[in-house]
Amino acid sequence: MSQTKQAFEKHVLCIGAGYVGGPTMAMIAAKCPTYKVTVVDINEARIAAWQTDELPIYEPGLLEVVQEARGRNLFFSTDVEAGIKEADIIFVSVNTPTKTFGRGAGKAADLQFWEKTARQIRECSTSSKIVVEKSTLPVRTAEAMARILNWGEKATDIHFEVLSNPEFLAEGTAIADLKMPDRVLIGGAETPRGAAAVQDLVDLYAHWVPRERILTTNVWSSELSKLAANAMLAQRISSVNALSALCEATEADIDEVGRAIGSDSRIGPKFLRASVGFGGSCFKKDILNLVYLCEHYGLKEVASYWEQVVKINRYQRGRFVDRMITCMFNTVVGKKVAVFGFAFKADTGDTRESPAIYVCRELVDERAAVTVTDPKALPNAKRDLADIADQITWESDPYKAAEGAHAIAILTEWKEYAELNYERIFEVMEKPAFVFDGRNILDAEKLHRIGFNVYPIGKAPKTHIGEESEI
Ligand SMILES: NC(=O)c1ccc[n+]([C@@H]2O[C@H](COP(=O)([O-])OP(=O)(O)OC[C@H]3O[C@@H](n4cnc5c(N)ncnc54)[C@H](O)[C@@H]3O)[C@@H](O)[C@H]2O)c1
């Protein structure tokens, strides 16, 4: 932070250098060269990594955006206090995980990191600031934040205006999402001060986002819209996954059903692919948060409606493992299973809440010999399964992972897994060789011709079991 305050038009600070704070601020810095953007975090290793070309998170295109602005008007630091003092606008992008203890455990958001940040902003500030909720938070959190920040305001003459500006980026496509977002949502108080703060944030985004895509609302609508958007996206996945179970029972094909219903313009084609289930740090956490809020306001029916989305997701991945075991003659004891993909989705190394965590654990419980491969997520996978690491083999090369395996389970839709040489893989596997395609990315017909027994999601299997010259 060597530049003087006058050198830049505005000073932007982001507290929390994670999957949201890092990419979002890199994009703001790249698009607003007259703003100084500083990203701070208490995690020293993370900050150190942001200062190198080995960034702490993998995201296509991220390094280029960081390199464009780093050292010019984008800075990473562990000095939270200095960052707060200097800032005009502070984004709070700390983690808000599901509470694991006390009241609301397993559902409510754990707001301890967020509250610590609010208190620190208050303690360290020597001038008025706009404080922006970037983290996903329960509805009406801004009210609590404003209370903490502005307590005794008159005595200090410093005012904090709290805005809600939830982040809608999706990991794996974060850079494209940030470059051309469907919308930027800014919620502010309906007061002159609130309107002025909203305008400041609109001006920031208007450096590159078309004005008609910048939506302004009241704070509560903005906070709720983030939870609602994630709930609706996850609900769509669970709806398709629920239908995939019916497809398997009836020999309907979920891709055909998806195409048929998605061509209705009221429904639309996106997010209609069946899979082993959704993962990621947000969907489950945000729906459970929504459920908790509904319960808090006495809306039991609404709460149980949304909770069902999470239940179906759990059911789907359990169903996937059940099918594997049933099809492999009701036992996987001692059988090698090659798990292709551990990230919760393609093009990210993030494994938080990945279905692979649950599938691997259940397979290990069944005493299968599990080998995991993934192009980007092995370090995180090893941490997720640290307690059973001695029962898992890690392998970066999918061909090696398949050697001697009875089955392959595709758990992440990495493009490279669709492009592997499956003739070569079939040669080195135990027979009968099984493929359980938890993402429907493989050409089932082709694999069947090679000799595999193929089990896609939501489709009739293609097997050789029971054939005279069984493979
Ligand atoms: N990951 C996503 O795709 C995504 C998308 C939209 C919204 N969100 C929301 O954004 C928020 C952040 O998510 P994330 O995935 O970036 O989390 P993350 O865990 O990757 O990053 C949060 C960072 O905040 C830091 N932090 C915590 N307390 C701090 C403090 N007092 N001072 C300084 N730093 C502190 C942590 O060390 C961590 O590095 C969450 O509320 C999440 O729900 C995430």
Taking CA atoms only, the protein residue closest to ligand 1 atom 36 is: 16
For the cut 60, the answer to whether the pLDDT of residue 1 exceeds it is no
pLDDT in tens, 300-309: 999 999 999 9
For the cut 90, the answer to whether the pLDDT of residue 5 exceeds it is no
Taking CA atoms only, the protein residue closest to ligand 1 atom 28 is: 113
* Confidence tier at 6 by pLDDT (50, 70, 90): low
Q: Calculate how far, in angstroms, residue 19's C-alpha sits from the geometric centre of ligand 1.
A: 7
Q: Calculate how far, in angstroms, residue 161's C-alpha sits from the geometric centre of ligand 1.
A: 21
CB 135 within 8 A of CB 94: yes
Q: Calculate how far, in angstroms, residue 282's C-alpha sits from the geometric centre of ligand 1.
A: 11
Looking at residue 428, its pLDDT comes to 98
* Confidence tier at 28 by pLDDT (50, 70, 90): very high
* Confidence tier at 285 by pLDDT (50, 70, 90): very high
| Average pLDDT for 175-199 | 98
pLDDT in tens, 147-166: 999 987 655 689 999 999 99
Looking at residue 470, its pLDDT comes to 47
Looking at residue 465, its pLDDT comes to 81
15: nearest Cα among 72, 70, 87? 87
Q: Calculate how far, in angstroms, residue 95's C-alpha sits from the geometric centre of ligand 1.
A: 3
Q: Please choose from 84, 91, 93 the residue to mutate so as to test ligand 1's pocket, defined by most ligand atoms within 8 A of CB.
A: 93
Looking at residue 466, its pLDDT comes to 75
Q: What percent of the chain has pLDDT over 90?
A: 95
Q: Please choose from 20, 171, 225 the residue to mutate so as to test ligand 1's pocket, defined by most ligand atoms within 8 A of CB.
A: 20
pTM for the structure as a whole: 0.94
pLDDT in tens, 225-249: 999 999 999 999 999 999 999 999 9
The chain-wide mean pLDDT, for the chain, equals 95
pLDDT in tens, 74-114: 999 999 999 999 999 999 999 999 999 999 999 999 999 99
Q: What percent of the chain has pLDDT over 70?
A: 97
Q: Please choose from 41, 116, 230 the residue to mutate so as to test ligand 1's pocket, defined by most ligand atoms within 8 A of CB.
A: 41
Q: What are the pocket residues of ligand 1 if the criterion is a CB atom closer than 6 Å to any ligand atom?
A: 15-21, 40-43, 46, 80, 93-96, 113, 116-117, 135-136, 167, 169, 171, 281-282
Atom of ligand 1 nearest to the CA of 285: 43
Catalytic site residue from 14, 282, 294, 360 = 282
| Average pLDDT for 422-434 | 98
Query: Distance (Å, rounded) from C-alpha 87 to C-alpha 25?
Result: 14
Q: Tell me how far CA of residue 66 lies from CA of 30, 77, 208, 313, 377, in angstroms.
A: 8, 14, 17, 35, 21
Three-state secondary structure string covering the chain: CCCCHHHCCEEEEEECCCCCHHHHHHHHHHHCCCEEEEEECCCHHHHHHHCCCCCCCCCCCHHHHHHHHECCCEEEECCHHHHHHHCCEEEECCCCCECCCCCCCCCCECCHHHHHHHHHHHHHCCCCEEEEECCCCCCCHHHHHHHHHHCCHHHHCCCEEEEECCCCCCCCCHHHHHHCCCCEEEEECCCHHHHHHHHHHHHHHCCCCCHHHEEEEEHHHHHHHHHHHHHHHHHHHHHHHHHHHHHHHHCCCHHHHHHHHHCCCCCCCCCCCCCCCCCCCCHHHHHHHHHHHHHHCCCHHHHHHHHHHHHHHHHHHHHHHHHHHHHCCCCCCCCEEEEECCCCCCCCCCCCCCHHHHHHHHHHHCCCEEEEECCCCHHHHHHHCHHHHHHEEECCCHHHHHCCCCEEEECCCCHHHHCCCHHHHHHHCCCCCEEEECCCCCCHHHHHHHCCEEEECCCCCECCCCCCCCC
- Structural tokens at position 471: 């493979």
Query: Distance (Å, rounded) from C-alpha 338 to C-alpha 349?
Result: 19
Looking at residue 153, its pLDDT comes to 67
| Average pLDDT for 189-215 | 98
Looking at residue 7, its pLDDT comes to 87
Atom of ligand 1 nearest to the CA of 286: 43
- The size of the chain, in residues, is 471
Atom of ligand 1 nearest to the CA of 19: 16
CB 118 within 8 A of CB 150: no
- Catalytic residue at 282? yes
